[in-house]
Structure 1
Protein backbone atom coordinates (compact mmCIF):
# COMPACT_ATOMS: atom_id res chain seq x y z
CA UNK A 1 0.00 0.00 0.00
CA UNK A 2 1.28 3.46 -0.93
CA UNK A 3 0.35 6.35 1.38
CA UNK A 4 1.06 9.87 0.09
CA UNK A 5 1.36 13.01 2.20
CA UNK A 6 3.30 16.20 2.83
CA UNK A 7 5.84 17.57 5.28
CA UNK A 8 3.82 19.63 7.73
CA UNK A 9 0.17 20.61 7.49
CA UNK A 10 0.25 24.36 8.12
CA UNK A 11 1.52 25.78 4.84
CA UNK A 12 -0.56 24.35 2.00
CA UNK A 13 -3.15 27.00 1.08
CA UNK A 14 -4.76 24.97 -1.70
CA UNK A 15 -5.99 22.44 0.91
CA UNK A 16 -7.84 24.82 3.20
CA UNK A 17 -11.41 26.01 2.99
CA UNK A 18 -11.51 29.79 2.92
CA UNK A 19 -9.57 31.61 5.64
CA UNK A 20 -8.73 28.69 7.91
CA UNK A 21 -7.44 29.39 11.43
CA UNK A 22 -4.17 27.61 12.26
CA UNK A 23 -5.93 25.35 14.76
CA UNK A 24 -8.20 23.98 12.00
CA UNK A 25 -5.59 23.42 9.29
CA UNK A 26 -4.81 19.86 10.36
CA UNK A 27 -8.48 18.91 10.05
CA UNK A 28 -8.65 20.41 6.55
CA UNK A 29 -5.41 18.62 5.63
CA UNK A 30 -6.87 15.25 6.66
CA UNK A 31 -9.61 15.70 4.09
CA UNK A 32 -6.90 15.18 1.45
CA UNK A 33 -4.16 12.92 2.85
CA UNK A 34 -3.80 10.14 5.43
CA UNK A 35 -0.25 10.85 6.53
CA UNK A 36 1.94 13.83 7.37
CA UNK A 37 5.43 14.52 8.59
CA UNK A 38 5.59 16.34 11.92
CA UNK A 39 8.48 18.65 11.06
CA UNK A 40 7.99 20.96 14.05
CA UNK A 41 9.41 18.22 16.29
CA UNK A 42 12.79 18.85 14.64
CA UNK A 43 12.90 22.34 16.17
CA UNK A 44 11.28 21.60 19.53
CA UNK A 45 9.83 18.45 21.07
CA UNK A 46 6.03 18.88 21.13
CA UNK A 47 4.20 18.83 24.43
CA UNK A 48 2.05 15.76 25.02
CA UNK A 49 -1.13 17.82 25.13
CA UNK A 50 -0.42 19.03 21.59
CA UNK A 51 0.17 15.48 20.42
CA UNK A 52 -3.08 14.34 22.01
CA UNK A 53 -5.01 17.08 20.23
CA UNK A 54 -3.43 16.20 16.88
CA UNK A 55 -4.28 12.55 17.33
CA UNK A 56 -7.84 13.26 18.45
CA UNK A 57 -8.42 15.69 15.57
CA UNK A 58 -7.44 13.21 12.85
CA UNK A 59 -9.22 10.20 11.32
CA UNK A 60 -8.74 6.78 12.88
CA UNK A 61 -6.42 5.54 10.12
CA UNK A 62 -4.34 8.73 9.90
CA UNK A 63 -0.66 8.44 10.84
CA UNK A 64 2.25 10.72 11.61
CA UNK A 65 5.89 10.46 10.59
CA UNK A 66 7.59 12.19 13.53
CA UNK A 67 10.90 13.87 12.78
CA UNK A 68 13.59 13.42 15.41
CA UNK A 69 14.62 16.51 17.37
CA UNK A 70 17.66 18.28 15.91
CA UNK A 71 19.76 17.68 19.02
CA UNK A 72 19.39 13.94 18.45
CA UNK A 73 20.78 14.06 14.91
CA UNK A 74 23.68 16.48 15.30
CA UNK A 75 22.12 19.54 13.67
CA UNK A 76 21.96 21.67 16.80
CA UNK A 77 24.78 24.17 17.21
CA UNK A 78 25.88 24.72 20.79
CA UNK A 79 24.52 23.07 23.91
CA UNK A 80 21.31 21.04 23.95
CA UNK A 81 18.55 22.61 26.09
CA UNK A 82 18.40 19.56 28.38
CA UNK A 83 20.33 18.48 31.44
CA UNK A 84 21.74 15.49 29.58
CA UNK A 85 21.54 13.59 26.32
CA UNK A 86 19.44 10.93 28.06
CA UNK A 87 16.97 13.60 29.18
CA UNK A 88 16.70 14.80 25.59
CA UNK A 89 16.00 11.31 24.26
CA UNK A 90 13.56 10.57 27.09
CA UNK A 91 11.60 13.75 26.31
CA UNK A 92 11.35 12.74 22.66
CA UNK A 93 10.40 9.17 23.57
CA UNK A 94 7.54 10.46 25.75
CA UNK A 95 6.30 12.50 22.81
CA UNK A 96 6.59 9.60 20.33
CA UNK A 97 4.88 7.25 22.77
CA UNK A 98 1.86 9.54 22.81
CA UNK A 99 1.45 9.12 19.05
CA UNK A 100 1.98 5.39 19.52
CA UNK A 101 -0.64 5.19 22.26
CA UNK A 102 -3.23 6.46 19.79
CA UNK A 103 -2.03 4.00 17.14
CA UNK A 104 -1.02 6.89 14.90
CA UNK A 105 2.76 6.67 14.75
CA UNK A 106 3.94 5.61 11.30
CA UNK A 107 7.63 5.89 12.20
CA UNK A 108 10.29 8.16 13.63
CA UNK A 109 12.44 9.91 11.02
CA UNK A 110 16.08 10.57 11.92
CA UNK A 111 17.48 12.88 9.25
CA UNK A 112 21.22 13.41 9.55
CA UNK A 113 23.13 16.50 8.34
CA UNK A 114 25.49 16.69 5.34
CA UNK A 115 28.53 16.47 7.61
CA UNK A 116 27.39 13.10 9.04
CA UNK A 117 29.57 11.00 6.75
CA UNK A 118 30.34 7.30 6.56
CA UNK A 119 32.94 6.70 9.26
CA UNK A 120 33.21 4.51 12.33
CA UNK A 121 32.11 7.02 14.96
CA UNK A 122 28.95 7.79 13.01
CA UNK A 123 28.14 4.10 12.59
CA UNK A 124 28.47 3.82 16.37
CA UNK A 125 26.11 6.75 16.78
CA UNK A 126 23.52 5.01 14.62
CA UNK A 127 23.78 2.04 16.99
CA UNK A 128 23.23 4.47 19.87
CA UNK A 129 20.10 5.78 18.12
CA UNK A 130 18.89 2.21 17.69
CA UNK A 131 19.45 1.52 21.40
CA UNK A 132 17.71 4.69 22.53
CA UNK A 133 14.75 4.23 20.17
CA UNK A 134 14.57 0.46 20.50
CA UNK A 135 10.79 0.44 20.79
CA UNK A 136 10.19 2.41 17.59
CA UNK A 137 10.35 1.93 13.86
CA UNK A 138 13.06 4.39 12.82
CA UNK A 139 13.79 5.69 9.34
CA UNK A 140 17.32 6.90 8.64
CA UNK A 141 17.89 9.66 6.09
CA UNK A 142 21.44 10.42 5.03
CA UNK A 143 22.53 13.70 3.46
CA UNK A 144 26.10 12.66 2.71
CA UNK A 145 27.06 10.80 -0.44
CA UNK A 146 29.77 8.69 1.22
CA UNK A 147 27.12 6.27 2.53
CA UNK A 148 26.31 5.44 -1.11
CA UNK A 149 29.86 5.14 -2.48
CA UNK A 150 30.20 2.15 -4.77
CA UNK A 151 32.45 0.24 -2.36
CA UNK A 152 30.28 1.00 0.69
CA UNK A 153 26.63 1.14 -0.33
CA UNK A 154 25.93 -2.57 0.12
CA UNK A 155 27.39 -2.40 3.64
CA UNK A 156 25.18 0.61 4.34
CA UNK A 157 22.07 -1.27 3.24
CA UNK A 158 23.07 -4.44 5.09
CA UNK A 159 23.68 -2.41 8.26
CA UNK A 160 20.27 -0.72 8.06
CA UNK A 161 18.59 -4.07 7.41
CA UNK A 162 20.44 -5.84 10.25
CA UNK A 163 19.45 -3.20 12.78
CA UNK A 164 15.87 -2.87 11.51
CA UNK A 165 16.21 0.69 10.29
CA UNK A 166 13.96 1.94 7.51
CA UNK A 167 16.03 3.22 4.59
CA UNK A 168 14.78 6.67 3.58
CA UNK A 169 14.83 6.94 -0.21
CA UNK A 170 15.34 10.54 -1.30
CA UNK A 171 14.79 12.43 -4.49
CA UNK A 172 16.90 15.58 -4.36
CA UNK A 173 19.35 17.59 -6.50
CA UNK A 174 22.65 15.89 -7.18
CA UNK A 175 24.90 18.62 -5.82
CA UNK A 176 28.04 16.89 -4.64
CA UNK A 177 28.88 15.20 -1.37
CA UNK A 178 26.08 17.00 0.52
CA UNK A 179 23.37 15.16 -1.39
CA UNK A 180 22.46 11.52 -1.92
CA UNK A 181 21.32 9.61 -5.01
CA UNK A 182 17.84 8.22 -5.51
CA UNK A 183 18.50 4.67 -4.32
CA UNK A 184 15.23 2.67 -4.33
CA UNK A 185 16.14 -0.17 -1.95
CA UNK A 186 14.09 -1.16 1.10
CA UNK A 187 15.44 -2.55 4.36
CA UNK A 188 12.33 -3.16 6.48
CA UNK A 189 8.63 -3.97 6.17
CA UNK A 190 7.94 -0.26 5.70
CA UNK A 191 9.56 2.18 3.31
CA UNK A 192 9.82 5.96 3.24
CA UNK A 193 10.36 8.15 0.19
CA UNK A 194 10.96 11.88 0.70
CA UNK A 195 10.77 14.14 -2.34
CA UNK A 196 12.74 17.34 -1.89
CA UNK A 197 12.59 18.63 -5.47
CA UNK A 198 15.47 19.05 -7.90
CA UNK A 199 16.47 22.69 -7.47
CA UNK A 200 20.23 22.26 -7.70
CA UNK A 201 20.90 26.01 -7.35
CA UNK A 202 18.80 26.19 -4.21
CA UNK A 203 20.38 23.07 -2.73
CA UNK A 204 23.82 24.65 -3.00
CA UNK A 205 22.67 28.08 -1.85
CA UNK A 206 24.48 29.31 1.25
CA UNK A 207 22.62 32.60 1.51
CA UNK A 208 21.03 34.06 4.61
CA UNK A 209 19.06 31.79 6.90
CA UNK A 210 15.77 33.57 6.25
CA UNK A 211 15.65 32.67 2.56
CA UNK A 212 17.72 29.49 2.54
CA UNK A 213 14.86 27.04 3.04
CA UNK A 214 12.57 28.89 0.62
CA UNK A 215 15.12 28.65 -2.16
CA UNK A 216 16.23 25.09 -1.44
CA UNK A 217 12.79 23.50 -1.76
CA UNK A 218 11.42 25.62 -4.60
CA UNK A 219 10.55 23.06 -7.25
CA UNK A 220 7.55 21.84 -9.23
CA UNK A 221 7.81 18.24 -10.47
CA UNK A 222 6.63 17.81 -14.03
CA UNK A 223 4.45 14.92 -15.16
CA UNK A 224 7.31 12.94 -16.65
CA UNK A 225 9.31 13.18 -13.42
CA UNK A 226 6.31 12.15 -11.34
CA UNK A 227 5.62 9.25 -13.67
CA UNK A 228 9.20 8.00 -13.32
CA UNK A 229 9.00 8.28 -9.54
CA UNK A 230 5.63 6.56 -9.54
CA UNK A 231 7.04 3.67 -11.57
CA UNK A 232 9.77 3.19 -8.96
CA UNK A 233 7.18 3.23 -6.19
CA UNK A 234 5.09 0.57 -7.91
CA UNK A 235 8.16 -1.66 -8.14
CA UNK A 236 8.86 -1.22 -4.42
CA UNK A 237 5.26 -1.61 -3.24
CA UNK A 238 5.20 -5.46 -3.28
CA UNK A 239 8.35 -5.57 -1.14
CA UNK A 240 6.83 -3.82 1.89
CA UNK A 241 3.60 -3.67 3.86
CA UNK A 242 3.43 0.10 3.57
CA UNK A 243 5.24 2.69 1.48
CA UNK A 244 5.02 6.25 2.77
CA UNK A 245 5.69 9.09 0.31
CA UNK A 246 6.23 12.64 1.57
CA UNK A 247 6.55 15.72 -0.64
CA UNK A 248 8.86 18.38 0.81
CA UNK A 249 9.00 20.75 -2.19
CA UNK A 250 6.70 23.37 -0.75
CA UNK A 251 8.55 26.68 -1.04
CA UNK A 252 6.24 27.63 -3.91
CA UNK A 253 3.23 25.61 -2.66
CA UNK A 254 3.95 22.85 -5.17
CA UNK A 255 3.94 19.92 -2.75
CA UNK A 256 0.18 19.48 -2.42
CA UNK A 257 -0.35 19.83 -6.17
CA UNK A 258 2.38 17.30 -6.97
CA UNK A 259 1.08 14.88 -4.34
CA UNK A 260 -2.41 15.01 -5.86
CA UNK A 261 -0.97 14.45 -9.34
CA UNK A 262 0.98 11.42 -8.11
CA UNK A 263 -2.10 9.99 -6.41
CA UNK A 264 -3.96 10.28 -9.70
CA UNK A 265 -1.20 8.56 -11.64
CA UNK A 266 -1.08 5.69 -9.13
CA UNK A 267 -4.89 5.46 -8.83
CA UNK A 268 -4.73 6.04 -5.08
CA UNK A 269 -8.16 6.62 -3.57
CA UNK A 270 -7.69 6.99 0.17
CA UNK A 271 -10.49 5.65 2.33
CA UNK A 272 -11.24 7.25 5.70
CA UNK A 273 -10.38 10.86 4.94
CA UNK A 274 -11.99 13.58 7.02
CA UNK A 275 -15.01 15.21 5.37
CA UNK A 276 -14.02 18.26 3.35
CA UNK A 277 -15.56 21.49 4.54
CA UNK A 278 -17.76 23.18 1.98
CA UNK A 279 -16.70 26.58 0.80
CA UNK A 280 -19.81 28.80 0.77
CA UNK A 281 -18.59 30.54 -2.40
CA UNK A 282 -18.10 27.34 -4.39
CA UNK A 283 -20.59 25.12 -6.10
CA UNK A 284 -23.48 27.51 -5.86
CA UNK A 285 -26.51 26.36 -7.80
Structure 2
Protein backbone atom coordinates (compact mmCIF):
# COMPACT_ATOMS: atom_id res chain seq x y z
CA UNK A 1 0.00 0.00 0.00
CA UNK A 2 1.21 3.47 -0.87
CA UNK A 3 1.67 6.38 1.51
CA UNK A 4 -1.39 8.24 2.82
CA UNK A 5 -0.95 11.92 3.70
CA UNK A 6 -3.77 13.68 5.55
CA UNK A 7 -4.09 17.41 6.07
CA UNK A 8 -6.44 20.36 5.68
CA UNK A 9 -7.13 23.03 3.09
CA UNK A 10 -6.19 25.92 5.35
CA UNK A 11 -4.09 26.83 8.34
CA UNK A 12 -4.85 30.57 8.52
CA UNK A 13 -8.64 30.85 8.45
CA UNK A 14 -9.77 33.50 10.93
CA UNK A 15 -12.35 31.16 12.49
CA UNK A 16 -9.59 28.59 13.02
CA UNK A 17 -7.44 31.19 14.75
CA UNK A 18 -10.40 32.05 16.99
CA UNK A 19 -11.19 28.39 17.77
CA UNK A 20 -8.32 27.80 20.19
CA UNK A 21 -6.81 24.99 18.12
CA UNK A 22 -3.47 26.76 18.08
CA UNK A 23 -1.68 27.03 21.44
CA UNK A 24 -1.24 30.54 22.81
CA UNK A 25 2.48 30.31 22.07
CA UNK A 26 1.74 30.08 18.33
CA UNK A 27 1.13 33.79 18.11
CA UNK A 28 2.74 34.62 14.75
CA UNK A 29 2.18 33.30 11.21
CA UNK A 30 5.59 31.60 11.34
CA UNK A 31 4.82 29.82 14.61
CA UNK A 32 1.35 28.78 13.46
CA UNK A 33 2.68 27.20 10.28
CA UNK A 34 5.38 25.41 12.28
CA UNK A 35 2.76 24.11 14.72
CA UNK A 36 0.50 22.93 11.88
CA UNK A 37 3.44 21.17 10.22
CA UNK A 38 4.07 19.35 13.48
CA UNK A 39 0.55 17.90 13.38
CA UNK A 40 0.11 17.06 9.68
CA UNK A 41 2.48 16.20 6.80
CA UNK A 42 0.64 18.12 4.09
CA UNK A 43 -1.47 21.24 3.56
CA UNK A 44 -3.46 22.66 0.66
CA UNK A 45 -3.06 26.38 0.00
CA UNK A 46 -6.47 27.74 -0.99
CA UNK A 47 -5.63 31.46 -1.03
CA UNK A 48 -3.76 31.10 -4.33
CA UNK A 49 -7.12 30.59 -6.07
CA UNK A 50 -8.13 34.15 -5.21
CA UNK A 51 -4.79 35.77 -5.98
CA UNK A 52 -1.53 34.35 -7.33
CA UNK A 53 1.26 33.84 -4.78
CA UNK A 54 4.48 35.82 -4.55
CA UNK A 55 7.77 33.96 -4.88
CA UNK A 56 8.91 35.40 -1.56
CA UNK A 57 5.84 33.90 0.14
CA UNK A 58 6.65 30.46 -1.27
CA UNK A 59 10.22 30.84 -0.05
CA UNK A 60 9.03 31.63 3.48
CA UNK A 61 6.69 28.63 3.47
CA UNK A 62 9.59 26.41 2.48
CA UNK A 63 11.86 27.88 5.15
CA UNK A 64 9.28 27.62 7.93
CA UNK A 65 8.44 23.92 7.54
CA UNK A 66 10.44 20.75 8.22
CA UNK A 67 11.94 18.48 5.59
CA UNK A 68 9.32 16.16 4.13
CA UNK A 69 6.44 18.61 4.56
CA UNK A 70 4.29 19.07 1.44
CA UNK A 71 2.31 21.99 0.05
CA UNK A 72 -0.40 21.56 -2.57
CA UNK A 73 -1.30 24.82 -4.31
CA UNK A 74 -4.74 25.64 -5.66
CA UNK A 75 -4.52 27.10 -9.16
CA UNK A 76 -5.37 30.77 -9.65
CA UNK A 77 -9.02 31.15 -10.71
CA UNK A 78 -8.16 32.62 -14.12
CA UNK A 79 -6.31 29.41 -15.05
CA UNK A 80 -9.40 27.26 -14.46
CA UNK A 81 -11.81 29.53 -16.32
CA UNK A 82 -13.52 30.96 -13.25
CA UNK A 83 -14.52 34.61 -13.12
CA UNK A 84 -11.55 36.50 -11.70
CA UNK A 85 -11.49 39.91 -10.08
CA UNK A 86 -9.55 42.43 -12.13
CA UNK A 87 -7.87 43.54 -8.91
CA UNK A 88 -6.46 40.00 -8.47
CA UNK A 89 -4.52 40.17 -11.75
CA UNK A 90 -0.90 41.30 -11.64
CA UNK A 91 -1.08 45.09 -11.72
CA UNK A 92 0.89 45.54 -14.93
CA UNK A 93 -1.26 42.96 -16.74
CA UNK A 94 -4.69 44.26 -15.78
CA UNK A 95 -6.87 45.09 -18.79
CA UNK A 96 -8.56 48.45 -19.11
CA UNK A 97 -12.16 47.50 -18.48
CA UNK A 98 -15.21 48.49 -16.47
CA UNK A 99 -15.82 44.84 -15.60
CA UNK A 100 -15.25 43.72 -12.03
CA UNK A 101 -14.62 40.13 -13.12
CA UNK A 102 -12.89 38.85 -16.21
CA UNK A 103 -12.27 35.52 -17.94
CA UNK A 104 -9.19 34.28 -19.85
CA UNK A 105 -10.61 35.60 -23.13
CA UNK A 106 -10.70 39.13 -21.70
CA UNK A 107 -6.91 39.26 -21.53
CA UNK A 108 -4.56 39.73 -24.50
CA UNK A 109 -2.88 36.42 -25.36
CA UNK A 110 0.53 37.66 -24.25
CA UNK A 111 -0.82 38.79 -20.87
CA UNK A 112 -2.55 35.45 -20.35
CA UNK A 113 0.71 33.62 -21.07
CA UNK A 114 2.50 35.89 -18.61
CA UNK A 115 -0.04 35.05 -15.87
CA UNK A 116 0.73 31.37 -16.37
CA UNK A 117 4.46 31.96 -16.31
CA UNK A 118 4.44 34.09 -13.17
CA UNK A 119 2.07 31.79 -11.29
CA UNK A 120 4.23 28.72 -11.89
CA UNK A 121 7.57 30.46 -11.34
CA UNK A 122 6.35 31.72 -7.94
CA UNK A 123 6.26 28.06 -6.85
CA UNK A 124 9.95 27.50 -7.63
CA UNK A 125 11.15 27.87 -4.02
CA UNK A 126 8.78 25.10 -2.91
CA UNK A 127 9.82 22.86 -5.79
CA UNK A 128 13.52 23.47 -5.12
CA UNK A 129 13.00 22.57 -1.45
CA UNK A 130 11.22 19.34 -2.42
CA UNK A 131 8.03 20.59 -0.74
CA UNK A 132 5.72 21.12 -3.71
CA UNK A 133 3.22 18.30 -3.98
CA UNK A 134 0.80 19.24 -6.75
CA UNK A 135 -1.24 22.10 -8.17
CA UNK A 136 -4.99 21.64 -7.85
CA UNK A 137 -7.06 22.61 -10.88
CA UNK A 138 -10.67 22.76 -9.71
CA UNK A 139 -12.88 23.48 -12.69
CA UNK A 140 -16.19 25.40 -12.65
CA UNK A 141 -19.64 23.78 -12.93
CA UNK A 142 -19.87 24.66 -16.64
CA UNK A 143 -16.67 22.73 -17.47
CA UNK A 144 -18.35 19.56 -18.76
CA UNK A 145 -17.08 16.53 -20.60
CA UNK A 146 -16.20 17.40 -24.19
CA UNK A 147 -13.23 17.18 -26.51
CA UNK A 148 -12.05 20.78 -26.03
CA UNK A 149 -12.03 20.41 -22.26
CA UNK A 150 -10.09 17.14 -22.42
CA UNK A 151 -7.59 18.94 -24.63
CA UNK A 152 -7.33 21.67 -22.02
CA UNK A 153 -6.42 19.08 -19.38
CA UNK A 154 -3.55 17.99 -21.60
CA UNK A 155 -2.57 21.63 -22.16
CA UNK A 156 -2.49 22.23 -18.41
CA UNK A 157 -0.30 19.16 -17.88
CA UNK A 158 2.10 20.37 -20.57
CA UNK A 159 2.25 23.90 -19.15
CA UNK A 160 2.89 22.66 -15.62
CA UNK A 161 5.54 20.05 -16.39
CA UNK A 162 7.53 19.07 -14.34
CA UNK A 163 5.07 20.32 -11.70
CA UNK A 164 2.23 17.85 -11.21
CA UNK A 165 -1.35 19.04 -11.75
CA UNK A 166 -4.36 17.28 -10.21
CA UNK A 167 -7.90 17.68 -11.55
CA UNK A 168 -11.20 18.17 -9.76
CA UNK A 169 -14.47 18.39 -11.69
CA UNK A 170 -17.66 20.11 -10.63
CA UNK A 171 -19.84 18.99 -13.54
CA UNK A 172 -21.63 15.64 -13.27
CA UNK A 173 -21.41 14.97 -17.02
CA UNK A 174 -17.92 13.54 -16.47
CA UNK A 175 -19.54 10.74 -14.46
CA UNK A 176 -22.90 10.17 -16.19
CA UNK A 177 -23.32 6.54 -17.21
CA UNK A 178 -20.51 5.33 -19.46
CA UNK A 179 -18.84 8.75 -19.22
CA UNK A 180 -17.35 7.77 -15.88
CA UNK A 181 -15.23 5.02 -17.40
CA UNK A 182 -14.40 7.26 -20.36
CA UNK A 183 -13.22 10.01 -18.00
CA UNK A 184 -11.10 7.75 -15.82
CA UNK A 185 -9.66 5.88 -18.82
CA UNK A 186 -8.66 9.20 -20.41
CA UNK A 187 -6.94 10.35 -17.24
CA UNK A 188 -5.13 7.02 -16.86
CA UNK A 189 -4.02 7.00 -20.48
CA UNK A 190 -2.31 10.35 -19.99
CA UNK A 191 -1.21 9.73 -16.38
CA UNK A 192 -3.30 12.66 -15.11
CA UNK A 193 -4.19 12.60 -11.41
CA UNK A 194 -7.88 12.59 -10.49
CA UNK A 195 -9.31 14.33 -7.42
CA UNK A 196 -12.21 12.48 -5.79
CA UNK A 197 -14.57 14.49 -3.62
CA UNK A 198 -17.12 14.10 -0.88
CA UNK A 199 -19.64 16.90 -1.15
CA UNK A 200 -23.34 17.76 -0.90
CA UNK A 201 -25.43 16.15 -3.63
CA UNK A 202 -28.33 17.53 -5.65
CA UNK A 203 -26.69 20.81 -6.69
CA UNK A 204 -25.49 22.07 -10.06
CA UNK A 205 -21.90 21.64 -8.96
CA UNK A 206 -22.42 18.21 -7.37
CA UNK A 207 -20.42 15.21 -8.50
CA UNK A 208 -20.63 11.70 -7.04
CA UNK A 209 -18.03 10.49 -4.51
CA UNK A 210 -15.94 8.55 -7.02
CA UNK A 211 -12.49 7.42 -5.88
CA UNK A 212 -9.91 6.34 -8.43
CA UNK A 213 -6.15 6.23 -8.87
CA UNK A 214 -5.42 7.40 -12.41
CA UNK A 215 -1.75 8.24 -11.80
CA UNK A 216 0.89 7.67 -9.14
CA UNK A 217 -0.79 10.35 -7.02
CA UNK A 218 -4.42 10.09 -5.91
CA UNK A 219 -6.22 12.94 -4.13
CA UNK A 220 -9.44 13.11 -2.13
CA UNK A 221 -11.03 16.33 -0.87
CA UNK A 222 -13.75 16.40 1.79
CA UNK A 223 -16.04 19.41 1.38
CA UNK A 224 -18.60 18.47 4.03
CA UNK A 225 -22.37 18.22 3.71
CA UNK A 226 -23.60 21.65 4.69
CA UNK A 227 -27.27 22.28 3.95
CA UNK A 228 -26.16 25.79 2.94
CA UNK A 229 -23.87 24.69 0.11
CA UNK A 230 -25.13 27.43 -2.21
CA UNK A 231 -24.50 30.19 0.34
CA UNK A 232 -22.10 32.96 -0.66
CA UNK A 233 -20.85 32.93 2.92
CA UNK A 234 -17.87 30.58 2.69
CA UNK A 235 -18.19 29.60 6.35
CA UNK A 236 -21.83 28.59 5.90
CA UNK A 237 -20.87 26.69 2.74
CA UNK A 238 -18.10 24.68 4.38
CA UNK A 239 -19.24 24.81 8.00
CA UNK A 240 -19.83 21.10 8.48
CA UNK A 241 -18.20 18.79 10.98
CA UNK A 242 -18.04 15.11 10.04
CA UNK A 243 -19.09 12.60 12.66
CA UNK A 244 -16.63 9.86 13.56
CA UNK A 245 -19.10 7.37 12.09
CA UNK A 246 -19.05 9.16 8.73
CA UNK A 247 -15.27 9.19 8.65
CA UNK A 248 -15.08 5.54 9.72
CA UNK A 249 -17.10 4.60 6.63
CA UNK A 250 -14.45 6.30 4.48
CA UNK A 251 -11.41 4.63 6.06
CA UNK A 252 -11.57 1.32 4.13
CA UNK A 253 -12.30 3.18 0.88
CA UNK A 254 -9.24 5.35 1.36
CA UNK A 255 -7.11 2.34 2.21
CA UNK A 256 -8.28 0.61 -0.99
CA UNK A 257 -7.43 3.74 -2.99
CA UNK A 258 -3.98 3.87 -1.40
CA UNK A 259 -3.36 0.29 -2.56
CA UNK A 260 -3.62 1.54 -6.15
CA UNK A 261 -1.42 4.65 -5.86
CA UNK A 262 2.09 5.50 -4.77
CA UNK A 263 0.81 8.42 -2.69
CA UNK A 264 -2.72 9.28 -1.61
CA UNK A 265 -3.42 12.77 -0.29
CA UNK A 266 -6.55 13.52 1.71
CA UNK A 267 -7.61 17.08 2.48
CA UNK A 268 -10.36 18.17 4.83
CA UNK A 269 -11.87 21.29 3.23
CA UNK A 270 -14.63 21.82 5.82
CA UNK A 271 -12.74 24.91 6.95
CA UNK A 272 -14.77 26.51 9.67
CA UNK A 273 -13.47 26.84 13.22
CA UNK A 274 -11.24 23.80 13.83
CA UNK A 275 -13.61 21.32 12.14
CA UNK A 276 -11.08 20.40 9.43
CA UNK A 277 -8.17 19.96 11.83
CA UNK A 278 -10.16 17.81 14.26
CA UNK A 279 -11.65 15.70 11.47
CA UNK A 280 -8.21 15.23 9.90
CA UNK A 281 -6.87 14.01 13.24
CA UNK A 282 -9.82 11.62 13.61
CA UNK A 283 -9.27 10.25 10.12
CA UNK A 284 -5.60 9.62 10.87
CA UNK A 285 -6.64 7.70 14.00
CA UNK A 286 -9.22 5.69 12.06
CA UNK A 287 -6.78 4.79 9.30
CA UNK A 288 -4.23 3.71 11.87
CA UNK A 289 -6.93 1.46 13.25
CA UNK A 290 -7.80 0.04 9.85
CA UNK A 291 -4.15 -0.74 9.18
CA UNK A 292 -3.67 -2.24 12.65
CA UNK A 293 -0.80 0.16 13.33
TM-score scaled by length of structure 1: 0.87
Q: Could you give the per-residue CA deviations for residues 62-120 of structure 1, whole angstroms, max 9, x where no partner exists? A: 00011111110011346654352110110111022321111001111111111211123
Structure ranking higher in helix proportion: 2
Deviations 1:161-219 (A, max 9, x none): 122211001000112331111101110111111000011x22233xxx4x2x1111011
User: In the alignment, which of 25, 35, 60 is matched to residue 32 of structure 2?
Assistant: 25
Residue 253 (structure 1) aligned with residue 274 (structure 2) = yes
| Counterpart among 178, 181, 185 of residue 154 in structure 1 | 181
CA distance in 2 between counterparts of 1:34 and 1:240 reads 18
Contact 1:175/1:203 (<8 A) preserved: no
Contact 1:63/1:104, CA 8 A, preserved across alignment: yes
Aligned with residue 148 of structure 2, among 96, 111, 121: 121
Q: 1:15 touches 1:32 (CA, 8 Å); kept in 2?
A: no
> Is residue 231 of structure 1 aligned with residue 252 of structure 2?
yes
Q: How far apart, CA to CA, are the structure 2 residues paired with 1:214 and 1:220?
A: 12
Alpha-carbon distance between aligned partners in 1 of 2:117 and 2:138, rounded to the nearest angstrom: 18
- How far, CA to CA, are the matches of 1:105 and 1:27 in structure 2? 17
**1:134 positional shift:** 2.5
Tell me how far apart the structure 2 counterparts of residues 237 and 77 of structure 1 sit (CA, whole Å): 35
* Cα shift readout 1:248-272 (whole Å, capped 9, x = no counterpart): 002243111111111111128xxxx
Contact kept, 8 Å, 2:30 with 2:64, in 1: the verdict is no
Q: Structure 2, unaligned stretches of length 5 or more?
A: 94-109
* d(CA) in 1 for partners of 2:263, 2:8: 16
Provide the TM-score with structure 2 as the length reference.
0.85
1:16 aligns with 2:22: yes
Query: What is the aligned length?
Result: 262
Distance 2:83 2:129 in 1: 30
